Amino acid sequence: MGIISPFGRGISDTIDAIRKAKREIKPLHLFPTTETPLPVGEISSFSVTDDISRTHALALAAAQEAMKEEGMKNGGGSPDAVIIGITTGGMPVTEELFKKGVVDPKRYRNHSTGTIAEYVARRVGCKGPVLTVSTACSSGSVALKIALEMLRSGRVKKVLAGGVDALCRLTYHGFHALQLVDATGAHPFDKGRRGMSVGEGAAMLLLTAAEVPPENAVAELLGAGLSCDAYHPASPHPAGAGAQRAMRDALTDAGILTEDIDYIHLHGTGTIDNDLAEARAVNALFGDRPLPPLSSIKGSVGHSLAAAGAIGAVVSTLSITQGVIPANTGFRESDPGLRLTPVINPTEAKVNTVLVNAFGFGGNNAALVISRPRVSKDFEAPICDVKPRAFAVLGSSCFTGAGDAGQTMQRISHGEGAGGIVPSADILRFISEKYVRRMKRLCRTGLSLAVSACNDSTTEKPPASVFFGTGWGGLSETHEFLAKLFASDERFTSPTDFVGSVHNATAGHVAIHFKATGPNVTMTGGDCSFEQALLSASLFAHNSDDPVLVIGADEYHEKLSPLFDASVAQGSVPADGGGALYLIPATSTSSLLIYPSFFSYAGNNRKCITELVNALGGGERIKDKFGAILAGIPAAQHKKGQAQLGDFLSITGYPYPVIDYRRFVGEFASASAVAAVLAVSFVKAGIVPGNICHQSPVPLQERGVLVLGFGNYITAVEIRP
């Protein structure tokens, strides 16, 4: 494990601070404020020397500690995958540049959340999947859940996973604008609690799949549960229904009962509503049974947002290895309405199993179960080697500059480009303007795509889960938030824009619309965010047979898009859009299947193309099963991507049409979601329009279409009849 937080840097500092019940919430010093600084959980004596953001540096510090321990015990080695939960990305640097009016795109190259996972992957030598999760304050725990499912699937053997966030103006002023900050510091579960304290930190855990715990195993991640309130963009369900469901699912996933829990590491932010909802959820989960010891550390270190769940996992592991339960610092008087009393002082106790909670905006709930490593289990363990399932396509939709899916297909069939800005009238065709009046462009686009995809289906069963991929999130809200903040000399800004700027805001609105209370996962890995969302959905598919929505969308913003996205700056015309697929886990009788068969970060891997071909079954299978390839190469990675595509064609000898889909749909991060929808349309029709491949129409002859991505990431999505 590796950790850095206001407690200090590393495991040793953390243990010492927990035993001494240190309260490290102090007035902000990291950046200037025009008013009296609010108390925050700021990491002191930490400076950034490289040309990166504070978020990048914190993530690397935690990762290096985790990998250093692994290197000492096992002679080195790199993780097979890196999965990190993040909300702020490179915002600490972006804010400074924006404030100064800097318009050089190169200075913003580390803005996106996805660059942090890539940065860590490069430094630790990862040659496999690199994923970025953005589910607000549950991000770190969701990253660990995805890692767990990836290990169970047999795709990887060793994963570095966790969460990170750095203090920045967006979160500091955003939570203050929502009136959720306590000017005296957070007092979780106290009768007089008045709000949270924003914090920062990072925690990484190196997970391995093994039948018998390795010698240096410190704990076992037994299970995890995810849910969505589907209730409100920023407020929790009053009864804690979603939180209870996540905890219950985590226990089921782990194969244990409530009486097996020795300690609950509470989310406990200190806000009135959140603590009440969590208390109600915990009480409902345990019923008449006595509650185990429980506490929140956010009164000591503040709320580290995306890092909170991962920090909770590390601290809970220390409870197991060190035999100490952390104090609920800041607690003074019991609240009768909560019906729970947290641990007031650090308590020595034998802890075998811990339940770890993390909840976030959009009703995103996550719970982990961590235990002492068990060599002999007296319970039925979850089945491993459960391969990710393919999905059957129930419905699909897309938006491009041409309009909706029908208009896009018509334009492409005539060999014309469909790139451009999606007309607002087309977005509103499937949703009521009155219903979305408080939403801005990306949320409207994502919700409209979801509704349209479901309308395209013949089933009336609503989706249970939502998986969303976006490279940049709500740029309109982000710009408005920062513009208002700096125009007011950093005094005022919009709480609505803050909530909408969170990357998972769109998925939250979709869940609320459909009352989808299953996992709600947003992935923000740049140009392959849609593929990351589809991969995550496939990893969870063995847990349920319910329909799911997988969506990819991005908006064009005239000021921010050219600064943030190098490919957009090189595009011929401004473009945005996205695609949505309404899916159900496939059975032996299903037709029209979609499956994410390959995903890898190419930065450290020179054998990536060979591995891609092997994952697809070799050149002969590729030629036998796929009658066309839709290839995506972001403009900023054109030279690299063209070389990779050339290697692929050389190895496979592929003879059929290879179509550069970005040339038709435009340059935006989620263009691959549109490509997937186009591929579905081609397979349904059994033919590829001739104009798109500069020849006569190409009959597929019962073959499928392969959607490939090249550049910094190599991806493959199969669409088969």
How far does the chain reach from its first CA to its final CA, in angstroms? 45
d(CA 21, CA 325): 10
Pairing of strands 294-295, 324-325: unpaired
Quote the tokens at residue 155. Answer: 């795709």
Q: Report the catalytic residues.
A: 137, 267, 303
Helices 114-124, 54-74: inter-axial angle, 10-degree rounding:
30
- The CB density around residue 348, as the number of other CB atoms within 10 Å, is 10
d(CA 96, CA 199): 19
Strand runs labelled E in 378-519: 391-399, 465-469
Quote the tokens at residue 257. Answer: 């009962």
Angle at 306 between CA 9 and CA 36, to 5 degrees: 75
HEC readout, 470-483? CCCCCHHHHHHHHH
Q: What are phi and psi of 277, to 5 degrees?
A: -65, -40
Residue type, 286: F
Dihedral sign of CA atoms 504, 508, 511, 515 in order: positive
Q: Do 62 and 203 form a contact (C-beta atoms < 8 A)?
A: yes
Q: If we measure between CA atoms, which residue out of 202, 103, 81 comes closest to residue 147?
A: 81
d(CA 325, CA 310): 17
d(CA 194, CA 284): 24
Sole residue written with tokens 């513009």:
483
Report how far apart, in Å, the C-alpha atoms of 220 and of each of 71, 379, 381, 383 are: 19, 14, 12, 15
Sole residue written with tokens 């995306």:
306
d(CA 554, CA 570): 17
- The CB density around residue 102, as the number of other CB atoms within 10 Å, is 15
3-state secondary structure of 294: strand
